[in-house]
Structure 1
Amino acid sequence: MHEDVLVRKIANALVEDVTVHITMPSTPILRGALGGLWVGGWVTLTTKAVTFSPNGLNRFMQSGALDVSVPLAQITDVTVLWGLFTKIVAITTPEAMLKVRCYGAARFAEAILAARDRVA
């Protein structure tokens, strides 16, 4: 089956396994408090998955499991959480949760659920 892009947005994703190549005193504190670090990039919803890919600057400054892909068929829940400037979309599977913050979070969450329901 062909994979079409439904939505692509600038976003930040909360990534657990990140190594920062620039020394910043707040990094260990933030990682501990948040359970990871926010990484800037793009979140993409296709007819098969939700993926996150870091932008070039974040890929240069950080390493680890920065690219994330969640198949739509594995998504059990999508919720919108409060955020300071942008709200957070929490995408839940039986094994993990992907959190992305972006503008238009509620519409993005609705689009994910609609795409997931078409796959089921």
Structure 2
Amino acid sequence: MRDQVLISKIANALIEDAQSHISSLAPVLSAFRAVWGGLWVGGRVTLTSETVSFAANTMNRIAQSGTLDVSVPLKQVTDVEVLPGLFTNIVAISTPDRVLKVRCYWARKFADAVIAARDAVSGAR
């Protein structure tokens, strides 16, 4: 089966090893990292028939470094849940190795699409 894009939307992802190049923000970002376990990075989350991935946008690539692109095979997804957020909710996509957290508008709809795509690629659970 050919990997096809199902949904692609603007989002932020919590990146554990993200570092800011703006030194004046270091104390604030250090505190933020301690609370959240990483920094929120702006970009695009894309759900395909085989993966869910995040890629940072150009502005965040200029301002930050770290693992700014993340891809999770749907066959490895063990759980998908929607967590409350301030302006947008957070979709937590779990695998045996990690949890990819993305915040986006219409998070519940995106989470449902990830679950449906995972079930389609792995067989209904």
The TM-score with structure 1 as length reference comes to 0.98
Match of 1:93 among 87, 92, 95: 95
Provide the alpha-carbon RMSD of the alignment.
0.6
Kindly state the Cα deviation for residue 82 of structure 1 after the two structures are TM-superposed. Answer: 0.3
In proportion to residue count, which structure has more helix?
Answer: 2
SS of residue matched to 2:22: coil
Kindly state the Cα deviation for residue 83 of structure 1 after the two structures are TM-superposed. Answer: 0.4
Kindly provide the CA deviation profile for residues 44-93 of structure 1, in whole angstroms up to 9, marking residues without a partner as x: 00011000000000011001111000000000000000000000000000
CA distance in 2, matches of 1:64, 1:106: 28
Q: Which amino acid aligns with 1:22?
A: I
Percent of pairs with identical residues: 60
Pairs within 5 Å for 1:1-120: 1-23=1-23, 24=25, 25-120=27-122
Please list every run of 5 or more consecutive structure 1 residues that lacks an aligned counterpart in the other structure: none
Please list every run of 5 or more consecutive structure 2 residues that lacks an aligned counterpart in the other structure: none
Q: How many residues align?
A: 120
CA distance in 1, matches of 2:72, 2:9: 16
CA distance in 2, matches of 1:16, 1:95: 13
Kindly state the Cα deviation for residue 117 of structure 1 after the two structures are TM-superposed. Answer: 0.4
